[in-house]
Amino acid sequence: MTAGEILVVMITFLFPLVLTNLVYGLEILVGLIQSVIFAGLTLVFISVATSHEEH
């Protein structure tokens, strides 16, 4: 289990509805930010690897 999943399970037992949705929203936001960063890094890597420089 990841830290996010453990946190969701703990919060589910303490505050069933309110905080659980907030944690899921936070996890979706973190996943979105990660995917944008990794897509940007991949784009930069591919553009550097395929660039044709004239000497």
Distance CA 22, CA 40 (A): 27
Residue count (the chain): 55
Query: What pLDDT is stored for residue 6 in this prediction?
Result: 86
Query: What pLDDT is stored for residue 55 in this prediction?
Result: 63
Per-residue pLDDT averaged across 13-25, rounded?
79
Is pTM, for the whole model, over 0.75?
no
Cβ pair 14, 23 in contact under 8 A: no
Residue 34 confidence class, pLDDT cut points 50, 70, 90: very high
